[in-house]
Amino acid sequence: MLRNHSPHDVLTQVPENNNWRSKTFVLALKIERLMFLAAPTRENYLNEQTLRSRVQLLSRHLVRIRKRKNAIATLLAPNTA
């Protein structure tokens, strides 16, 4: 999956994102670890037929967690307006 990945133009045009390959690799390792920990069995973890759907489910879950953390941080942040 990563082999076919190329970043959106906006990612490569921002100086802070010039190392998108290493960031993508680190993210892939984190996702791999989470998928391993979430798999009920070794066979389930190694099943390539369900790989795409498992990655999508995990990604959606991580996005929900990030949104929830951002919402909490926004609520707890002091008003600077």
pLDDT in tens, 22-76: 778 888 888 899 999 999 999 999 999 999 999 899 989 989 999 999 999 888 8
Q: Is residue 81 part of a domain?
A: no
pLDDT score of 12 more than 70 = no
Q: Is residue 9 part of a domain?
A: yes
Domain of residue 13, residue span? 2-76
Nearest to 54 by CA among 74, 71, 77, 37: 37
> What pLDDT score does 40 carry?
94
Q: Cα dihedral sign for 33, 28, 2, 56? A: positive
Q: Is residue 51 part of a domain?
A: yes
Nearest to 2 by CA among 19, 37, 38, 27: 27
Number of domains in the chain: 1
Q: Is residue 34 part of a domain?
A: yes
Q: Is residue 64 part of a domain?
A: yes
The DSSP code for 79 is: P
Q: What does residue 77 show for φ and ψ, rounded to 5 degrees? A: -70, 140
